[in-house]
């Protein structure tokens, strides 16, 4: 039997890399089958090691707002690489980048660059703890903030899909400082705050959750959460690693109209390179070393290549604010097509969408939080995923993730996807 190049690569990879992948969701474990190895991408598509082409709706899990390898980012990288790859010393592009972030996201008065979303959230919680002198923090069931120990408690994303929302290796001590609340349930916050008076440093939330599928926090819930944080001296952190610069130029906070004290970013701000950032009120950020005593550092932080790609991406956003209308129009077209298919086949599966992030849950109940999200039939999602893949459509290989639309997905891409969606559902149901 002929085995594909991807399969050969996967066998080879497993000899040297745990599970053959450098991030668990990529291994296809929750949908079954074997992962594709990707050779190259351009625009809305990528090609695997066997030369098969796919319309890609992951876009590297969000950052490829303009599709794969946009010319303006490649040009910026080509220019930057001629000058050097890393200095571990300040460069001018870091100032331009920081200034641009503060301009696009007004709640961010000062910002520190790091290398990943995990680093950003980890550092933001440390900043909040250092600033308040308190240890505990609240996170929400099903929200994912990277893989620092104290976040891996009822976490979303890969941790949830692979059935280890709370990971071994997380000490009891770490877990004890993490308080768990229910998404969109303000009573659960009130209870935790009352039971841990003056002990809570921060509440961290994905204001639009993207790691238990896509779920929007309700307006009143966020407003009340903001007031409670103000009254109790708790730092409100918005994890905008997925939503920052994707759902609006000012992120989820712009469309939801709530101002956090700190925000975390990743992915998009590196234009596809490994970058993260955390920032917010100067009062808090000025407690970070070397100005203040809260230590945080990194040799590759503010790396000139990552900054150049990221600056090109953010500058493009600044100069083309209409991209969010375009993304809305494109995403609505795709979502409409999906909705019509569901109607045709008589299924009322929950579909959520905020701008260019969307999710189809295999449950007919409304999805508003972790408990309702996990009602989705993940086995059915796995079948759906493979049927879509067979037809050249690459979706997230896990139910509890988002589908991302880019500015370069075409009507032709969408029509092909809508058609494949219909065929897939007919075959699996």
CA 25/CA 48 separation, integer angstroms: 17
- If one asks whether residue 157 binds ligand HOZ (CB under 6 A), the answer comes out as yes
Catalytic residue among 239, 261, 369, 413: 239
Catalytic residue among 57, 144, 349, 381: 144
Q: Which is nearer to ligand HOZ, 142 or 310 (CB)?
A: 142
Stretch that binds ligand HOZ, among 23-31, 190-198, 226-234, 323-331 (CB under 6 A): 23-31
Cβ 157 to ligand HOZ shortest distance, Å: 4
Cβ 23 to ligand HOZ shortest distance, Å: 3
Is 336 part of the annotated catalytic residue set? Answer: no
Token pair in block for residue 398: 């896990």
Residue keyed to tokens 């991030």: 23
Binding mask 205-234 for ligand HOZ (x = CB under 6 A): ------x-----------------------
Q: Which is nearer to ligand HOZ, 158 or 302 (CB)?
A: 158
Query: With contact defined as beta carbons under 8 Å apart, do 294 and 127 qualify?
Result: yes
Query: With contact defined as beta carbons under 8 Å apart, do 325 and 101 qualify?
Result: no
- If one asks whether residue 158 binds ligand HOZ (CB under 6 A), the answer comes out as yes
Q: In the sheet that 351-354 helps form, which strands lie side by side, from edge to edge?
A: 351-354, 357-360, 403-404
Phi-psi category of residue 242: left, alpha or beta, with phi > 0 → left and psi -120 to 50 → alpha: alpha
Q: Where are the alpha helices (DSSP H) in 4-150?
A: 5-16, 71-81, 92-104, 117-132
Query: With contact defined as beta carbons under 8 Å apart, do 224 and 158 qualify?
Result: no
Query: With contact defined as beta carbons under 8 Å apart, do 251 and 105 qualify?
Result: yes
- If one asks whether residue 30 binds ligand HOZ (CB under 6 A), the answer comes out as no
Is 15 part of the annotated catalytic residue set? Answer: no
N- to C-terminal Cα distance for the chain?
Answer: 30
Q: What are phi and psi of 177, to 5 degrees?
A: -90, -5
Number of chain positions touching ligand HOZ (CB under 6 A): 8
Q: Which is nearer to ligand HOZ, 158 or 251 (CB)?
A: 158
Q: Which of residues 376-405 bind ligand HOZ (CB under 6 A)?
A: 401
- If one asks whether residue 61 binds ligand HOZ (CB under 6 A), the answer comes out as yes
- If one asks whether residue 23 binds ligand HOZ (CB under 6 A), the answer comes out as yes
> Which residues are tagged catalytic?
144, 239, 267
Instruction: Write out the residues near ligand HOZ by the rule CB under 6 A.
Output: 23, 25-26, 61, 157-158, 211, 401
């Amino acid at each position: 039997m002929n085995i594909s190049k991807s399969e050969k690569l996967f066998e080879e990879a497993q000899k040297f890399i745990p599970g053959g992948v450098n991030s668990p969701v990529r291994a296809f474990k929750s949908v079954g089958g074997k992962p594709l190895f990707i050779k190259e991408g351009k625009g809305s598509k990528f090609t695997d090691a066997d030369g098969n082409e796919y319309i890609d709706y992951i876009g590297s899990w969000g950052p490829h707002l303009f599709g794969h390898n946009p010319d303006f980012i490649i040009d910026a990288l080509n220019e930057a690489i001629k000058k050097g790859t890393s200095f571990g010393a300040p460069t001018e592009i870091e100032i331009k980048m920081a200034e641009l972030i503060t301009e696009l996201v007004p709640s961010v008065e000062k910002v520190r660059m790091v290398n990943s979303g995990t680093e950003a959230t980890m550092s933001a919680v440390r900043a909040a703890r250092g600033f308040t002198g308190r240890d505990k923090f609240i996170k929400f069931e099903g929200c994912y903030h990277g893989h620092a120990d104290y976040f891996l408690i009822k976490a979303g994303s890969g941790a949830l899909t692979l059935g280890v929302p709370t990971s071994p290796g997380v000490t009891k001590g770490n877990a004890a400082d993490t308080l768990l609340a229910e998404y969109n349930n303000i009573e659960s916050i009130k209870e935790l705050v009352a039971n841990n008076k003056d002990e809570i440093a921060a509440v961290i939330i994905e204001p639009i959750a993207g790691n238990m599928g896509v779920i929007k926090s309700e307006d009143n819930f966020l407003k009340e959460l903001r007031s409670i944080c103000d009254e109790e001296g708790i730092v409100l952190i918005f994890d905008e690693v997925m939503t920052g610069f994707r759902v609006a130029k000012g992120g989820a906070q712009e469309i939801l109209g709530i101002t956090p004290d700190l925000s975390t970013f990743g992915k998009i701000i590196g234009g596809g390179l490994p970058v993260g950032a955390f920032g917010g009120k100067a009062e808090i950020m000025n407690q970070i070393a070397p100005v203040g005593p809260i230590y945080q550092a990194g040799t590759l932080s503010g790396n000139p290549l990552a900054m150049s790609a990221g600056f090109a991406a953010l500058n493009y956003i600044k100069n083309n604010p209409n991209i969010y209308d375009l993304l809305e129009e494109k995403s609505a077209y795709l979502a409409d097509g999906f909705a019509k298919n569901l109607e045709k086949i008589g299924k009322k599966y929950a579909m959520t969408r905020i701008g260019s992030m969307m999710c189809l849950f295999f449950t007919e109940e409304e999805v508003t939080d972790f408990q309702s999200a996990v009602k989705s039939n993940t086995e059915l999602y796995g079948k759906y995923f493979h049927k879509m893949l067979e037809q050249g459509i690459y979706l997230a290989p896990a139910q509890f993730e988002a589908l991302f639309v880019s500015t370069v997905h075409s009507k032709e891409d969408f029509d092909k996807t809508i058609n494949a969606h219909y065929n897939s559902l007919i075959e699996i149901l």
